[in-house]
Amino acid sequence: MDSTNWPECMSCEVGHLVPLSDFGAQGAAVHYKAWVCTNPECEYNLKIRNGEIHINEPIIRGARVR
């Protein structure tokens, strides 16, 4: 993956925003539904849900380490 193709993170200006895909209610792939910064110390994220844009929501990690 060539990271220079992704837009720079507006928050930390170090990482890049990469698109994530999700699956809709009918099981169809929804592409580019969420974007997240590649810098783990930044975690800036942007999600599109029901036509609304949600910026910098707290990240819910799939695996809880604690």
Residue 27 C-beta: closest distance to Zn ion, Å: 31
- SS3 per-residue string spanning the chain: CCHHHCCECCCCCCCEEEEEEEECCCCCEEEEEEEEECCCCCCCEEEEECCEEEECCCCCCCCCCC
Would you say 10 or 23 has its CB closer to Zn ion?
10
- Residues forming contacts to Zn ion in the complex (CB under 5 A) are 9, 11-12, 15, 37, 39, 42, 44
Give least dist CB 13 to Zn ion, A: 7
User: Cβ closer to Zn ion: 30 or 38?
Assistant: 38
Question: Please, which residue, 15 or 34, has the CB nearer to Zn ion?
Answer: 15
